[in-house]
Structure 1
């Protein structure tokens, strides 16, 4: 870190935040807009799932190597490549004429977003003094909160408003001014930085991880539409085998003095391995919750996209309140996560009961109590997640552990879209929308029980932000994505 922090650092922060906002909005908007998109350009039920899964799966794959690209080629240069690519991907989404084009453009967005986002966090670590870093990284909380509340509402309003006849396309085209600001600001105000130590890119490891992830998600989404043929189960089994090969290769690369994507020593730590299981299942459950609830309100209750976006506000506000409260609760350690899971189960259970009592005549006002409780529980789990898991790793492992956890978060989001989306659509074949949503919420509760058990594997207490920041050369605690 330079003795004198970069003088344009606060302007640079807003440039980096613009990139974060683009990513947050694009991880939220398709759940609200998916029914309108399908009605316009066609596609099967799996198209709705792929609109979210293609983005998050590509993001998970790209994040594995995104940070390393900045170390090798320079963070400012790689950030600009990512920002330009993400903006072009947004334009491609807005101009897509058929489902395959839109899904491909969504995957391109996610991949370039994974190239762009780690560079901003790395640049912030370099340009802010240790005293300023708490304030700078603290800005992410309000931005995330506003995005998770405003993203679905904005998406619903844009679809209903049909500005200049663009309909759902405007949810992607609105990224153009944000992208131009991120690009122009990056050129003008972001400093260049490059790792002084030569870092080699683990290309084979990245390909193995990408292949294993894709082999897992694809059959979970497409298998249902083909009545679960044998090839779907073969691909899932092959995914497990490729993940095993990936683990073997990373250990071998580490022993021979290479730069592995993931430090093999991490998997020997109970806290980190447990955190990966916890993160994978929890973010699957959370993302699946948002997707199926949005589909239920629009397809089952016939809400407009704007009304569906407004209906989700209580859950988003509950999550924001939990994030604000998390610092005061930090001293209770992993107990906060256990409490959050109990609260979330109560909220999801309350939602099942509300649907049972109100049926197809349920109103947004009747949903407020259960959604608020569920959202508050989500926030209590998410807020301490990264800090608590990273408390189990050594200082030199923090950078690799942070990147791996963020990739797991995105992979969990893709799996949640695939698994719970599939459960929801399968139930619709044999029952009505109310019972399909109730059954899906029951599966959600079962997943949260698994998460509750996994929390016992974590360290009892998280490290403070100051301890984490002083331990690693890269930001130790990435901000969690509010994928919805």
Structure 2
């Protein structure tokens, strides 16, 4: 199966998809798992606070800016091939991280992890369009969404367990070295199972588009990740000002290339599919919840003086809901039809408003009643998990399968941009409201403002999603088939 136009689905498609899901699971897992290791890294390598931030941001930033290129490479050279190349590179980068003898060696390893993860990760989402018939796509996307829920549940907990066990005396290094046996097992069993899929006639790379897309995304994401921590220096502001210019140059270049019969990295004709722009805005609003995890931890530890371990355990109901939501998406589709995505985003917004009410009615400095807090957190996580698979279908279903790698990279990049943007904006609102105060009253009031902002963004996404689900994605996707890929 080397082309998109497959008349009969491959009998091993589910086994193939399970292999590809490893590529969707490892990148978010490695993002979450490294957080708990930062104190051990600081002690072992003597890393400064700024270097610790780079350990996180080097991975997140390069992952985000490379995703579109990674997805398009799968379209052109084969998704299975690029998956394995990305997996091998990710394992090699993990080995470099595990053997790092200095903070900067670890930063370089994390940067390489981000790049190779971006080559590996989009292939699973892109393959849903290529290997599954329409009837099976909702279940496949639900499993894809559950992978993110599983990563959020086990990431930080697994990191803490592995570090405490101190396997083979490796300390924190085991949390990155554990990727090596996982990669070896996937290579051992996956090479025989995974068949190749690629976009028909997509045989040329677009190096100019790759360079311009990376520059554009870097000009947006790097300042958003590093700017607030650095006090918004001149370079951060200059990059944000340059970003619209770079985006215009990128769009103009891709448009000219497409008109000339080339193979653009991001085809402007595809992005003009009816409803696709609004669907990407919904994706942008969907991850407005990203700063919630950081700010809720600040509230728990700063205002309520909860221990780090107890604060981590508070999130378990959220993680359980996020894991369960995608698995129950097919059931909710039968009950709510096309309105599952707005229902999920509405649940998140309602849960956040409920949490706002609970904190408002709880005396300052006292822990909210667990009998109410746990169901609210579960509701927020469940809503997020419920909305994710239908969001992916809302976006990817609007383009022809030949462009599934490209759109997988675009939607994944959109989610990463949403994370960075919401952390910068809503986090900035929180810290502006907090000012120089650190007392429980100030932290609580600032957190309540942030909760309201997040809930408002998700409510806006819900309303926009309602306007989209009335336009069938399959019909909208016909616009992407007007000009075949070159």
TM score, norm. by length of structure 1: 0.81
Structure 1's 338 and 70: CA in aligned 2 closer, same or farther, altered over 3 A? closer
Which residue of structure 2 aligns with residue 314 of structure 1? 317
> The residue matched to 2:34 in structure 1 has which SS?
helix
Alignment match of 2:356 (pick from 349, 353, 374): 349
CA deviation after TM superposition for structure 1 residue 282, in Å: 3.3
CA deviation after TM superposition for structure 1 residue 243, in Å: 1.6
> Contact (CA 8 Å) 1:46, 1:222: kept in 2 or not?
no
Matched, 1:432 2:458: no
CA deviation after TM superposition for structure 1 residue 237, in Å: 0.5
Greater alpha carbon shift after TM alignment, 42-51 vs 159-168: 42-51
Which residue of structure 2 aligns with residue 386 of structure 1? 392
Q: How far does the alpha carbon of each residue in 1:164-197 deviate from its partner, in whole angstroms, 9 at most, with x for none?
A: 4433332222212111112222333222345441
Q: How far does the alpha carbon of each residue in 1:368-424 deviate from its partner, in whole angstroms, 9 at most, with x for none?
A: 244233323433543432334556667877664443222211222233455556666
Alignment match of 2:413 (pick from 383, 402, 407): 407
> What's the Cα RMSD here?
3.9
> Contact (CA 8 Å) 2:352, 2:455: kept in 1 or not?
yes
Greater alpha carbon shift after TM alignment, 153-162 vs 80-89: 153-162
Alignment match of 1:368 (pick from 365, 374, 386): 374
Matched, 1:73 2:60: no
Distance 1:302 1:163 in 2: 31
| Aligned length in residues | 471
Structure 1's 333 and 185: CA in aligned 2 closer, same or farther, altered over 3 A? closer
Distance 1:51 1:311 in 2: 26
Distance 1:450 1:264 in 2: 27
Alignment match of 2:450 (pick from 443, 450, 470): 443
> Contact (CA 8 Å) 2:145, 2:385: kept in 1 or not?
no
Which residue of structure 2 aligns with residue 107 of structure 1? 111
Alignment of 1:88-237 (within 5 A): 88-122=92-126, 136-237=140-241
Structure 1 unpaired stretches of 5+: 474-484
Distance 2:162 2:433 in 1: 30
Distance 2:299 2:134 in 1: 46
Structure 1's 99 and 346: CA in aligned 2 closer, same or farther, altered over 3 A? farther
Distance 1:408 1:87 in 2: 26
Distance 2:39 2:186 in 1: 30
> Contact (CA 8 Å) 1:16, 1:182: kept in 2 or not?
no
Structure 1's 280 and 300: CA in aligned 2 closer, same or farther, altered over 3 A? same
Which residue of structure 2 aligns with residue 286 of structure 1? 289
Distance 1:253 1:110 in 2: 28
> The residue matched to 2:68 in structure 1 has which SS?
helix
Alignment of 1:225-304 (within 5 A): 225-265=229-269, 271-283=275-287, 285-294=288-297
Which residue of structure 2 aligns with residue 482 of structure 1? none
> Contact (CA 8 Å) 1:27, 1:52: kept in 2 or not?
yes
> The residue matched to 2:201 in structure 1 has which SS?
coil
Which residue of structure 1 aligns with residue 484 of structure 2? none
Structure 2 unpaired stretches of 5+: 482-486
> Contact (CA 8 Å) 2:68, 2:406: kept in 1 or not?
no
Matched, 1:453 2:460: yes
Greater alpha carbon shift after TM alignment, 343-352 vs 458-467: 458-467
> Contact (CA 8 Å) 2:228, 2:428: kept in 1 or not?
yes
> Contact (CA 8 Å) 2:94, 2:176: kept in 1 or not?
yes
> Contact (CA 8 Å) 2:286, 2:345: kept in 1 or not?
no
Distance 1:342 1:360 in 2: 24
CA deviation after TM superposition for structure 1 residue 84, in Å: 0.5
Greater alpha carbon shift after TM alignment, 458-467 vs 220-229: 458-467
